[in-house]
Amino acid sequence: MLKTIKKILIIKLRDIGDIVLSTPVLNVLNENCPSPDIVYVLKKEYEYFKYLLPHVKEVITYDKNDPLDFLRVVLRLRGYKFDLAVNLHATFRSALITFLSGAKYRLVHNHSGKNYFTSFPLNIEEKQKNIIERDLDTLSPLKVGITDAMKKTGLVLNDEYVKYIDDVELTATIGFGIGARRKNKMWREDRFIELGRKLADGGFSIAVFCSETEKAVGAHISSHIPGAKLYAGLDFLRLAFFIHKLRFFVGND
């Protein structure tokens, strides 16, 4: 069957970490299908992944807060005439999008419920496992060979986005990502300061990264580290570019 698979739809309406951890699925499909055209549907706020996902020809965004966007996405997907659709973390709504896409074959994986609209039974034993293994389980009906190299996660930094961020100066060597969604996942400020001072004494430049809402904390940390620079509120793409260029990065969670 894989020899006939050319156009592939991937759907994962989750957050940043889950998208990154889905990249092994992209590796496997790229290795096992002959030059596939892969389209990835993700949340609207993560549109910048179109510059970062490996083996993906196009990214389509979906805004669940816009009632009309469901229809827009479905109509757009139907125009591709997909050979295969893979829904890696299905809700009923995203499973319905998969079904209405018109893909010839559909693999729909709901981790905690019924796999609605899947063309093949996945026969997955749902137990505690890491996200990469769960995503790869979705491909089980394809009976593809999966090597350790394919299981590696990773993003690519394609040439198109360099134009988008050419106004950014790269001045730091080591970066601190001080924020997290929950306080209990954040390292203490004094620990960042202590580490930053030791690294600065060793001749390293320090950059402190945070969101706009964390700016006061970021300013406090950076002000206590000699020569440190604060970068608050960078969008995801610029932040990815910085981290790619840094010698080392220390973050939470």
Q: Which tens digit of pLDDT belongs to each residue from 47-63?
A: 989 988 999 999 999 99
Strand order in the sheet with 229-232: 229-232, 206-210, 174-177, 248-251
Tell me the three state secondary structure of residue 8: strand
Residue 192 in this model has a pLDDT that exceeds 90: yes
pTM above 0.85, yes or no: no
Residue 196: Cβ-neighbour burial (10 angstroms; 0-12, 13-18, 19+): buried
Strands (E), the chain: 7-11, 37-43, 56-62, 84-87, 105-108, 174-177, 206-210, 229-232, 248-251
- Inter-residue contact 97 to 72 (CB < 8 Å): no
pLDDT of residue 160: 66
Domains and CATH numbers, the chain: 2-156 (3.40.50.2000), 161-251 (3.40.50.2000)
pLDDT bracket for residue 166 (50, 70, 90): low
pLDDT per residue as tens digits for the range 116-150: 999 999 988 878 889 999 999 999 999 998 999 99
